[in-house]
Copies of this chain bind each other. A is one copy, B any other.
C-alpha cells in the first residue's frame, strides 16, 4: 500500500505572531518600538504621496517651509483624503472644506466656521514623528512614551573624500520588484540562511555568483546584543580563508556584505520595511564613490535583469524572489522541517518571540535606546580574508 501520499494532508499555519505587522499584533507592536525608513528624503514634497507602512495608510508631504509631515489620510472633519490636500507654508489644507493641519496634526484653520473655528484646538489630525537621516525619512509609529533615539550606524559615518551616501528603495537584495509581494519575514529570515547561496544562487539562478560562493561553507551562528550573526568560512584553495559575516539587527535590518570583496566591514545595510502582511519594501543605504553603486549591484540571471525575464526564464532561473514568494503570501511556517543548516532561522524566530514577550510584558525590545550616547550601532558584517593576505581579490556578486 502507498505510504506518505498527500491524501488527508492538513495544511499548516503561519507564525502569525512573528509575521504580522498591523497595530496590536505581537510583532507589529515590536516593530512599532523602532524608527523605520518610510521614504527617500526627496519623496516628501508639496505634492502629497500615499504610503502604506505596517498596515497603516499614511500621507506624506513637506510644507512650503520645508518640514516633512506624515498624517493619517482621512481628514478628521468629514473624511476626504489629505492625499488631495493643498500644501501650504505651515501644513496641508483638506480639499473638501479647507481645514488646515500642521505636521503635528494641529488644526490651524476651519475656514467656513466662525472665526476660522473657535474650537479648532479641540481636534487633532492623527500624525507621526518624522526625522531625516542618511537621505531617508524615518517615522516613529509607536507609543509616544517609548520613542527611542534614532540610531546611527558606524558603517555610514565618516565618509572619506569622494565617498557619498547612496540611497535605494527599489528592492536591492530582494531579487525582484521594488514592492515585494509576500510576507517580509520570508525575506528577512533568508538573510540568516547562508546555505541557500550555493544552491539557489549557484545551481539555479545562473551566473549570479562567483565559483567561490558556490562552495558550501562551514557556518557558525551566534546571538549578538542586537540580533543574530552567521560566520561563513570558505577555504579559497590558495592558502586563504574567506570569513563572511552576515547579520540581522532587530527589528528588521539586513547586513549583507558588499560584493566587491574589499576586505572588511560592509559598506551597505538595508531595512526590510513591511507595508502590510503581504507586501514590503527594502530601503538600502551604501557609501561609495559611484552613485550607481547600488543599481549596478542588482543580480542578473544569465546576464538578464530580473525585470526582463520571460515566464519560462523565471521558472528555469529562479532567484530569491521566486523562492521566497513561492513560499506563499505568508509562508505556512508550521510545515517547515528545520534541520541543522536552519539554525539561523530558528535563532531569529526565538529572538523575535522573546521580543514580543518582552513588549507584551511592558519591557523594551533589544536595540532600543533613549540616550543619545547609545545611538551608534556597530556593524560587524563584511568579508574578511585570512591567511595569505596579499593574494589578489576575487570578484563576487551580492546575495540578491
Contact = CB atoms under 8 A, between A and B. Distances in A.
Interface size classification for chain A: 35 or more
A4 interface: yes
Contacts of A196: 96-97
A332 to B, nearest CB: 7
A314 to B, nearest CB: 8
Contacts of A345: 78
A311 to B, nearest CB: 11
A114 interface: yes
B323 A4 contact: no
Contacts of A312: 47
A112 B196 CA distance: 9
A160 B83 CA distance: 47
Interface stretch (A103-111, A266-274, A352-360, A384-392): A103-111
Nearest to A119: B339
A80 B205 CA distance: 14
Contact of A97 (B96, B123, B195): B195
Contacts of A7: 23, 32, 128, 141-144
A296 interface: no
A49 to B, nearest CB: 9
Interface in A35-93: 47-48, 56, 58, 71-74, 76-81, 83-84, 86, 93
Interface string A199-226: 1100110000000000010000000000
A277 B119 CA distance: 34
A254 to B, nearest CB: 18
A82 to B, nearest CB: 9
Given A4-B126, A84-B315, A111-B216, 8 more contacts: A3-B124, A7-B32, A9-B72, A48-B315, A74-B328, A83-B315, A95-B322, A123-B337
28 contacts: A1-B145, A2-B147, A4-B105, A4-B106, A5-B105, A5-B127, A5-B128, A6-B141, A7-B128, A7-B144, A9-B72, A9-B126, A77-B337, A79-B328, A80-B324, A84-B323, A95-B199, A96-B196, A96-B323, A97-B193, A97-B195, A98-B203, A110-B339, A112-B195, A112-B199, A114-B340, A117-B339, A123-B337
Interface of A: 1-9, 23, 32, 47-48, 56, 58, 71-74, 76-81, 83-84, 86, 93, 95-98, 104-106, 110-114, 117, 119, 123-129, 141-145, 147, 193, 195-196, 198-200, 203-204, 216, 312, 315-316, 318, 322-324, 326-328, 331-333, 335-342, 345
